DNA sequence: AAGAAAGCTTGAACACGTTCAACCCCACGG
DNA sequence: CCGTGGGGTTGAACGTGTTCAAGCTTTCTT
């Protein structure tokens, strides 16, 4: 049987993954050595590279796994009934993410290193993460689908909200306050502000300033 | 004479610096080797570390030097006569920075790597760059001193503007459009938007939303 | 001028992420 | 039941940033 061999292989991959993540959690990303990971998994150094392209790729694997595991929660948050106000849905959406990441907050900080450079595959803005980013935006689009947003701004709102939630997550990664209390506070207030702005954007009165906002968004997104 | 020795030492430091920066510009930061820098400067590998704590420290030295060289321009931009509208002063302020950085744009991208992590000394938010950051904010404070900004928001405006200009600079570092045309466009439109928002913040009508904005700023700045 | 201190220089050595040619093992075709 | 092909595994080797004990040179002290 082929499955026997495949199963063994997958088991090795998994063992490397588990050992690595445990070490990252315990001693930090930088302080953990690929040699130590391999040794801990009972394989030679090179084996780790047979399964993972690089040290960061292991973190990437965690990111992908965490992302998959939170889909259900994100969907529930985004598609909560109409009784749930947008502010609550948005807040919940970010909370789901933070809860899924929480046990490995320190691990994810490793990705923050190249976080600013879209050229790096290991970046929230990079090519590697594009599918997840787009799936996120689909959820966010559903979240605001019933809000009757203006025609010019509407198409950009998912991307803007995606940037918003990524900002909160990054702040959370950096946040050194006890229990990341500051992030919770930031989320509470900023979610209120964001939804308020979205409501205001529907008023005809705000059209001029909205046009400027749209222009800015299009420049940043490279649509212009 | 002490000066003789000091002069020789400084000359070596300078030679390492020049060789390093030329190599960074030509081949990029990652591709340039400390061994190559030392060899190019005619010293042993270890000598480079006698003068610079790390490879990134050399980029840091450039950052500091560029920063010093642009002070005059920044001051002129910030303290332009009252005839010059705030929007023009702000635009000019950022332009001075970009012009000073321009010849070594690629080099500065190396600092972007740890740019997001305030824990890293080599970060616009890090400890190492605190003096420059604060000097920046002094200029920005002078820039808006005559604007009659509201009492609650006013104290935060320099920090907000600092974040704004840093955002533009980072966008510029990443911007791959020809001649960084997109950044120029972004600067033009965003400077207009920022100054417009500052004017709006003076209207009594906007007080409620301004309070929320101030609350957000205080959470992010860790003042709360 | 002799000796000591301070400043500068050296290059081998270290630890790490990563690569790779060689090797092993085992399901499969004959 | 052989042997073969390819997935899986090995560990030495490479290139890198960085460290450091040792040595050298210049300046200061007496």
User: Which tens digit of pLDDT belongs to each residue from B181-193?
Assistant: 999 999 999 999 9
On whether both B48 and B75 belong to a single domain, the answer is no
On whether both A9 and A98 belong to a single domain, the answer is no
- Mean pLDDT of all residues in B28-39: 97
CA distance B19 to chain A (A): 26
On whether both B152 and B174 belong to a single domain, the answer is yes
Q: How far apart are CA B34 and CA B46, in angstroms?
A: 9
> Domain total for chain A?
2
How many interchain CB pairs under 8 A, A with B? Answer: 66
Least confident of A80-84, B14-18, B168-172: A80-84
How distant is C1' of D24 from CA of B44, in Å?
14
On whether both B198 and B153 belong to a single domain, the answer is yes
Residue B162: what pLDDT? 97
Least confident of A122-126, A205-209, B76-80, B167-171: A122-126
- Mean pLDDT of all residues in A60-87: 92
Q: How far apart are CA B158 and CA A26, in angstroms?
A: 40
Q: H or E segment at A215?
A: helix A207-221
Residues A113, B109: C-beta atoms closer than 8 Å:
no
CA distance B206 to chain A (A): 12
> CB neighbours of A58 closer than 8 A, spacing ≥ 6?
A16, A17, A20, A21, A24, A37, A52
Q: What percent of chain A has pLDDT over 70?
A: 96
pLDDT of B3 strictly over 70: no
On whether both A150 and A116 belong to a single domain, the answer is yes
Cβ A9 to strand D below 7 Å: yes
pLDDT of B116 strictly over 90: no
Residues across chain A = 224
3-state class (DSSP) for residue A64: helix
Q: Which pairs from A30-38 meet CB under 8 Å and 24+ separation?
A: A30/A110
On whether both B194 and B94 belong to a single domain, the answer is yes
Output the pTM of the full model. 0.91
CA distance B224 to chain A (A): 9
A153 near A171, Cβ under 8 Å? Answer: no
Given A117, A182, A220, which is nearest B219 (Cβ)?
Answer: A182
pLDDT of B224 strictly over 60: no
pLDDT of A137 strictly over 50: yes
Contacts of A115 in chain B (CB under 8 A): 116
On whether both A46 and A64 belong to a single domain, the answer is no
3-state class (DSSP) for residue B24: helix
Given B116, B196, B212, which is nearest A170 (Cβ)?
Answer: B116
Which residues make up the interface with nucleic strand C when CB must lie under 7 A? Answer: A 1-2, 4-5, 32-35, 45-46, 49, 53-56; B 5-6, 8-9, 12, 43-47, 49-50
Residues B196, A209: C-beta atoms closer than 8 Å:
yes
What CATH code is carried by the domain that includes residue B2? 1.10.10.60
On whether both A167 and A201 belong to a single domain, the answer is yes
pLDDT of A21 strictly over 80: yes
Domain endpoint, select from A15, A37, A52? A52
pLDDT of B120 strictly over 60: yes
- Mean pLDDT of all residues in A139-150: 92
What Rg do the C-alpha atoms of chain A give, in angstroms?
20
Q: How far apart are CA A57 and CA A13, in angstroms?
A: 12
On whether both B63 and B43 belong to a single domain, the answer is no
On whether both A133 and A213 belong to a single domain, the answer is yes
On whether both B65 and B152 belong to a single domain, the answer is yes
On whether both A173 and A140 belong to a single domain, the answer is yes
pLDDT of B222 strictly over 70: yes
Q: Residue A186: give the domain boundaries.
A: 56-221
Q: What is the 3-state secondary structure (H, E, C) of B161-187?
A: HHHHHHHHHHHHHHCCCHHHHHHHHHH
What CATH code is carried by the domain that includes residue B75? 1.10.357.10
Q: What is the mean pLDDT of chain A?
A: 91
């Amino acid at each position: 049987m082929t499955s026997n061999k495949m199963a063994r292989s997958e088991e090795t991959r998994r063992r490397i993954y588990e050992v690595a993540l445990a070490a990252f959690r315990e001693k930090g990303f930088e302080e953990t050595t690929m040699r130590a990971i391999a040794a801990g998994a009972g394989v030679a150094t090179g084996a780790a590279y047979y399964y993972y392209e690089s040290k960061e790729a292991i973190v990437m694997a965690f990111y992908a796994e965490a992302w998959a595991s939170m889909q259900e929660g994100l969907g529930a948050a985004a598609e909560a009934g109409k009784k749930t106000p947008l502010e609550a849905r948005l807040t919940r959406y970010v909370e789901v993410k933070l809860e899924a990441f929480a046990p490995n907050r320190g691990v994810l900080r490793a990705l923050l290193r190249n976080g600013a450079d879209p050229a790096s595959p290991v970046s929230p803005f990079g090519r590697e993460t594009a599918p997840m980013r787009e799936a996120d935006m689909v959820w966010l689009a559903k979240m605001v689908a019933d809000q009757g947003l203006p025609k010019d701004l509407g198409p950009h709102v998912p991307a803007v909200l995606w940037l918003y939630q990524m900002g909160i997550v990054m702040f959370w990664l950096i946040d050194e306050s006890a229990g990341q209390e500051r992030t919770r506070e930031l989320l509470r207030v900023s979610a209120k502000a964001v939804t308020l702005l979205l409501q205001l954007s529907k008023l005809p009165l705000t059209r001029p300033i909205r046009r400027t906002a749209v222009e800015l968004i299009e420049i940043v997104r490279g649509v212009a």
